Amino acid sequence: MKLYSTNNPSTRYSLKEAIMQGLPDDNGLFMPDFIPELPDSFFRDIQNLSFTEIAYEVAWALLKDDLDATSLQEIIQDVFYFEVPLVPVTERAYCLELFHGPTLAFKDFGARFMARIMAHLWKESDAKPCILVATSGDTGSAVAHGFFQVPGIDVVILYPSGKVSEIQEKQLTTMGGNVTALEIDGTFDDCQGLVKSAFLDPDLKRYRKLTSANSINIARLIPQSFYYFQAYAKLKHLNRAVVCSVPSGNFGNLMGGLLAKKMGLPIHRFIAANNENKVFFDYLLSGEFQPKPSVATISNAMDVGNPSNFDRIVDLYAHDLKELCKHVHGFTFGDEKTRNVISYIYSKTGYIMDPHGAVGYLGLQEYHKVDPDSVGVFLGTAHPAKFLDVVGPLVSEPVVIPDRLKEILNQKKHSISLSSSFDEFKDYILAN
């Protein structure tokens, strides 16, 4: 795979260079210079394939110039050992549950895949990389778990103090070893800004090989396309148009779906379901992208006021808003509607959604008003037990807490507090 920068399409980078750098020097984002279409035979038989078989075929189409078939198969089998169920919630709404991995969030797909790919690409290198990752919730825990004790790689996670759930914080601050958690006095956007600034700082670049595990890294993004193929495979027998509603924050998940569509996946529409952080929704309406300070909501992993993957999405559609709007609808919902729909769906069906999945369901419900004949998938991005303070009061039965979460709650938090000043962050990296 060859890649270019969204800020300079004439550039070319190898996959290893793109993963090692995280971001191009011009502060763009890496994009594949060619997106292959999968053959008709793949889609004709897709309903008969397991998730790992689907993931391998998609990954091989993209990465066959960079990995041998045996290594890629081993990576796929090692990473995706957990189930990816599609659960009917209402007659026309299915939840693609992406929270059955080790940290109970969809970020396990990207973080685990990236960790194995990086370990494979770095196995003959003397450089010891340091991964910087900003998190608004589940990314940090997934990266911490995915890279824990991976030889030769250090991980530094930045998270906004007081703006992630207790369980999320425990998941990313109790690993130790090669994983360090920095508790930043600010928002997710502040954390993300520190990471981006670090990649562009010449002193830090000379001092240490830095890369990122956010969805700005192409190795995190690619596996986020796999599960859309799984959803289609499970619904193909219905012979109806399939739409996917994606709870959207930094927009890596939606970008993964759009990548799948470019590879030939016949998803009819994508829905960008936003909470009150709605700069993408506003862009679809006005054609103007205006980043804003993020607003705290109960769907905290989506509290992003300047989504990084926006540049990839508009690049994918050649900055043609009209063409983008043919494929993507946008909706936005506040906390009150999110709480109400969690309670309503539970009372009607017994199904318990987390706040992010609930925003996705709301997007699907809204879209069905204009397209009542389609069948819809919304992404369940995290286990509801990770948001007990929100979900618990809205349902009449105790939310079952998986044993792996119970164990973490009893562990001691270890984090280093920093301000949102880049100079302070830079001094920390240089000293450690």
Closest CA to 191 of 355, 273, 308: 308
Number of H helices, E strands in the chain: 20, 14
Closest CA to 426 of 158, 246, 171, 56: 158
Residue 56 in this model has a pLDDT that exceeds 90? yes
Average pLDDT over residues 251-269: 96
pLDDT given for residue 70 in this prediction: 96
Q: Looking at residue 309, what is its pLDDT? A: 93
Report the pLDDT value the prediction gives residue 407, as an integer from 0 to 100.
Answer: 84
For residue 201, give Cα distances in angstroms to 27, 184, 208, 426.
11, 19, 11, 9
Q: What is the mean pLDDT of the chain?
A: 92
Residue 120 parent element (H or E): helix 107-122
Active site amino acids: 107
pLDDT confidence of residue 136? 76
Average pLDDT over residues 263-292: 96
Cα 146 to Cα 298: distance, rounded to the nearest angstrom? 26
- Residue 212 or 73, more confident: 73
Per-residue pLDDT band at 7 (split at 50, 70, 90) = very high
Residue-wise pLDDT for 133-188, tens only, equals 888 767 788 888 888 887 778 899 999 999 887 888 888 898 888 999 999 999 98
| pLDDT confidence of residue 126 | 62
Give the 3-state secondary structure of residue 113.
Answer: helix
pLDDT interval class at 23 (50, 70, 90): confident
Mean pLDDT over 326-331 rounds to 96
Judging by DSSP bridges, how do beta strands 93-97 and 86-90 pair with one another? antiparallel
What are 80-111's pLDDT values in tens digits? Answer: 999 999 999 998 999 999 999 988 999 899 98
What proportion of the chain, given as a percentage, has pLDDT over 90? Answer: 69
Query: What's the average model confidence in pLDDT over 45-69?
Result: 96
Q: Is the pLDDT of residue 274 over 90?
A: yes
- How remote is the C-alpha of 419 from its chain's centroid? 26
Closest of 233, 280, 282, 288 to residue 254, by C-alpha: 280
Strands 8-14, 2-5: pairing kind: antiparallel
Residue 431 burial class via C-beta count within 10 angstroms: exposed 0-12, middle 13-18, buried 19 and up: exposed
What pLDDT does residue 208 have? Answer: 80
Q: How many CA atoms lie within 13 A of 3 on its CB side?
A: 28
- pLDDT for residue 124: 60
Beta-bridge partners for 130: 154, 210
Amino acid 127: pLDDT: 66
Q: Does position 403 have pLDDT exceeding 70, yes or no?
A: yes
pLDDT recorded at residue 58? 98
pLDDT computed for residue 406 by the predictor: 84
The pLDDT confidence band at residue 363, using thresholds 50, 70 and 90, is very high
The pLDDT of residue 231 is above 80: yes
Task: State the pLDDT confidence band at 353, using cuts at 50, 70 and 90.
Answer: very high
Residue 43, pLDDT above cutoff 90 = yes
| Domains of the chain as residue ranges with CATH | 83-104+221-400 (3.40.50.1100)
- Amino acid 223: pLDDT: 95
Choose between 93 and 25: higher pLDDT. Answer: 93
Which pLDDT value is given to residue 25? 85
Please name the residue ranges forming H helices in 148-245: 166-173, 188-200, 202-207, 218-221, 226-235
- Strands 375-380 and 242-247: what pairing? parallel
Confidence check: pLDDT of 322 > 90: yes
For residue 271, pLDDT beyond 90: yes
* pLDDT surpasses 90 at 425: yes
- The verdict on pTM exceeding 0.95 is no
Report the alpha-carbon distance of residue 229 to residue 227 in Å, rounded: 5
pLDDT score at 125: 63
Percent of the chain with pLDDT over 70: 99
Q: What residues pair up with 181 in beta bridges, in sequence order?
A: 157
**Tens-digit pLDDT profile for residues 186-220:** 998 899 899 989 988 989 888 888 887 777 789 98
The pLDDT confidence band at residue 119, using thresholds 50, 70 and 90, is confident
Mean pLDDT, to the nearest integer, of 322-344? 97
What would the two tokens of residue 320 be? 């043609």
pLDDT band at 386 (very low <50, low <70, confident <90, very high): confident
Q: How confident is the model at residue 371 (pLDDT cuts 50, 70, 90)?
A: very high
Q: Tokens 């998803």 identify what position? A: 267
Distance between CA atoms of residues 99 and 392, nearest Å: 18
pLDDT at 339: 98
Name the least confident of 42-56, 380-394, 401-415: 401-415
